[in-house]
């Protein structure tokens, strides 16, 4: 939670904290942003969401991991076909 990845998102983190928002993770402070930790993050994102909207995703992106978690959690999943944007 204390290691911002990518670093360009640091000001997003600061704005969340300034507005009394929440930073949520199941990993302890100091955990590096390793590729194998991203699915757990996606599970939390889908769990906190009312639904998932997929706008664009490559087949190798984590989007489909999030979609799978959302479907397992009984969430609605929406998609906008590429031709509409």
Question: Hey, is 23 helix, strand or coil?
Answer: coil
Q: How many CA atoms lie within 13 A of 50 on its CB side?
A: 0
* Whether residue 6 has a cis bond before it, omega within 30° of 0: yes
Q: With beta carbons less than 8 A apart as the criterion, state whether 65 and 42 touch.
A: yes
Q: Of 28, 27, 40, 38, whose CA–CA distance to 5 is shortest?
A: 38
pLDDT, tens digit, for every residue of 40-76? Answer: 999 999 999 999 999 888 877 889 999 999 999 999 9
- The reported pLDDT for the residue numbered 85 is 66
Q: What pLDDT was estimated at residue 62?
A: 85
Q: Is 62 helix (H, G, I), strand (E, B) or coil?
A: coil
pLDDT in tens, 11-26: 999 999 999 999 899 9
**pTM, 2 dp:** 0.77
Q: How many CA atoms lie within 13 A of 8 on its CB side?
A: 0
């Amino acid at each position: 939670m204390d290691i911002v990845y990518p670093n360009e998102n640091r000001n997003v983190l600061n704005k969340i904290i300034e507005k009394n928002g929440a930073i949520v993770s199941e990993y302890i402070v100091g955990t590096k942003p390793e590729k194998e930790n991203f699915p757990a993050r996606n599970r939390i994102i889908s769990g906190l969401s009312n639904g998932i909207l997929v706008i664009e995703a490559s087949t190798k992106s984590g989007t489909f991991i999030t979609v799978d978690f959302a479907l397992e959690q009984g969430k609605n999943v929406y998609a906008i076909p590429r031709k509409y944007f």
